[in-house]
């Protein structure tokens, strides 16, 4: 095959912006440790194909926070307990993956749900004590509408 010319190699030329800021093909090709996460000490963790950096599974932390806040506003255990359950499951997910963006929201939902449940318990105790005091003094039977 003497008559065929060698294939042309196209060398990309950096743009004016890329060369001004030190970015372009000549910089890209100088990357050391390709396929490795840099600065990991003596252990280099290879990147797996399809492994996305910064991928975190979704959680229901925001919904748990909304339900917990509704539990405080409406003093309703019907929304506080589901909010607490959802917050605990979101916390399990976020604790297993350090740096998860929903970790703070899940912890806040858990705290707000416990505050809501605590306020409900205090309200029930208050009304129970008031009923007991009225019953003990005999005022309960004399109340007229």
pLDDT, one tens digit per residue, over 41-82 is 555 555 444 444 568 888 889 999 999 999 999 878 899 999
Spatial CB neighbours of 41, under 8 Å, sequence gap ≥ 6: none
Between CA 107 and CA 62 the distance in angstroms is 11
Q: Which of 29-38, 44-53, 94-103, 125-134 has the highest mean pLDDT?
A: 125-134
Domain range spanning residue 118? 61-137
Question: In this structure, is residue 126 part of a structural domain?
Answer: yes
pTM of the model: 0.57
Q: Are 80 and 71 in contact (CB under 8 A)?
A: yes
Question: In this structure, is residue 144 part of a structural domain?
Answer: no
Residue 24's CB is within 10 A of a number of other CB atoms, namely 17
Tens of pLDDT, residue by residue over 17-26, are 555 555 555 5
* Number of separate domains in the chain: 1
Question: In this structure, is residue 52 part of a structural domain?
Answer: no
Between CA 123 and CA 47 the distance in angstroms is 55
């Amino acid at each position: 095959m003497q008559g065929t010319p060698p294939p042309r190699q196209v060398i990309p030329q950096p743009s004016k912006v890329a060369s001004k800021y030190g970015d372009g093909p000549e910089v890209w090709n100088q990357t050391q440790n390709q396929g490795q996460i840099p600065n990991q000490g003596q252990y280099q963790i290879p990147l797996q194909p399809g492994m996305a950096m910064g991928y975190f599974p979704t959680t229901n932390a925001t919904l748990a926070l909304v339900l917990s806040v509704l539990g405080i506003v409406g003093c309703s255990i019907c929304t506080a307990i589901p909010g607490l359950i959802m917050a605990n499951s979101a916390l399990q997910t976020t604790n297993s993956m350090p740096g998860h963006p929903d970790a703070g929201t899940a912890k806040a939902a858990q705290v707000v749900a416990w505050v809501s449940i605590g306020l409900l318990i205090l309200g029930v105790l208050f009304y129970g004590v008031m009923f007991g005091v009225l019953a003990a003094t005999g005022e309960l039977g004399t109340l007229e509408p």
